Amino acid sequence: MDISFILLIFFIGFVGSFMSGMLGVGGAIINYPLLLYIPVLLGFTGFNAHQVSGIVAAQVFVATFSGVWAYRKDGYLNKELISIMGLSILIGSLIGGYGSHFFSEDAINLVYGLLAIIAAIMMFIPKTGTEAHQSDHVRFPKILTSIMTFAVGLTSGIVGAGGAFLLVPLMLVVLKIPTRITIATSLAVTFISSVGTTATKLIFGQVPILPALIVMAASLIASPIGVFIGKKMNVKVLQGILIFVILLTTVKIWVDIFYI
């Protein structure tokens, strides 16, 4: 593998994982289109959609673990919320990850585009509630939470994403969870989801090992840096960056779905 290609893959993994730690997303919403399109645009041999989803699954696994580890002492991790959402999304992601074996590349891209549109729309819904700093004081509807996260796991398992880019808007808008608790908790839930997704991608041989290892190495470095910077940033700024990232990715995915 050419050294320039290795550096490119490392850089892509670093960018996605940095955003993962800062915004509470797994990084898939950024890394998926970057890995799918950038290598080809720069003249390298590209990855197909199944390979990209496998690499992204491995990246999300490491990035979210690193992010949770960096948040472990700040009081933002809600254990009850993590348990309920984690179990629901794990079951959903296992089913979705298995089902992805039967989907075409076009179908995988279509599911990804639909998820991105939903996330983008939700981020524009006004947020209400207080910005509590202790996760122990958070209250939420348990049955609704379980159903929503199962659905997220099912669909995100198809594209190899942890689902955090959809979980974050759901937690902010529907469950009314404070922003910083949402970011920290969604990383933990997405980590649980990524276990099932990554396992199924490995079983079906959809993970190119060397590119995945490069991206995972980048994640170990970048995700904690993202967490550190995210803690220092204003909540509104964090939400604005997330909106921009989701919108940009949504436009790119749908342009390619319709015109390629």
Give per-residue pLDDT as tens, 183-214: 888 889 888 877 877 887 888 888 899 999 99
Q: How many domains does the chain have?
A: 1
Dihedral angle at the C-alpha atoms of 253, 116, 87, 68, nearest 10 degrees?
90
Does 26 score more than 80 pLDDT?
Answer: no
| Confidence at residue 57, expressed as pLDDT on a 0 to 100 scale | 85
Distinct helix (H) and strand (E) counts, the chain: 10, 0
Average pLDDT of the chain is 82
Residue 152 has pLDDT above 80, yes or no: yes
128 — pLDDT class (breaks 50, 70, 90): low
Q: What is the DSSP letter of 141?
A: -
Q: Is the pLDDT of residue 126 over 90?
A: no
> Chain centroid to CA 78: how far?
19
Distance, CA of 193 to chain centre: 10
Please say if the pLDDT value at position 55 is more than 70: yes
Convert the pLDDT of each residue in 102-116 to its tens digit. Answer: 777 777 777 777 877
> Tens digit of pLDDT for each residue in 225-236?
999 998 888 877
Sign of the CA dihedral 215, 19, 38, 124?
positive
pLDDT band at 33 (very low <50, low <70, confident <90, very high): confident
Locate 166 and state its tokens: 């959809």
Report whether pLDDT(135) > 60: no
- pLDDT tier at 6, thresholds 50, 70, 90: very high
Question: Model confidence at 134, in pLDDT bands (50, 70, 90)?
Answer: low
Q: Give the domain extent around 68.
A: 3-259
pLDDT for res 107: 75
Q: What do you get for the CA distance between the two ends of the chain, in Å?
A: 28
Question: How high is the pLDDT of residue 48?
Answer: 86
Which distant-in-sequence residues (6+ apart) come within 8 Å of 5 by Cβ?
A: 39, 44
Overall pTM > 0.75: yes
164, pLDDT greater than 80:
no
What pLDDT sits at residue 243? 79
Q: Check pLDDT > 90 for residue 96.
A: no
Least confident residue range of 26-40, 53-67, 73-87, 138-152: 26-40
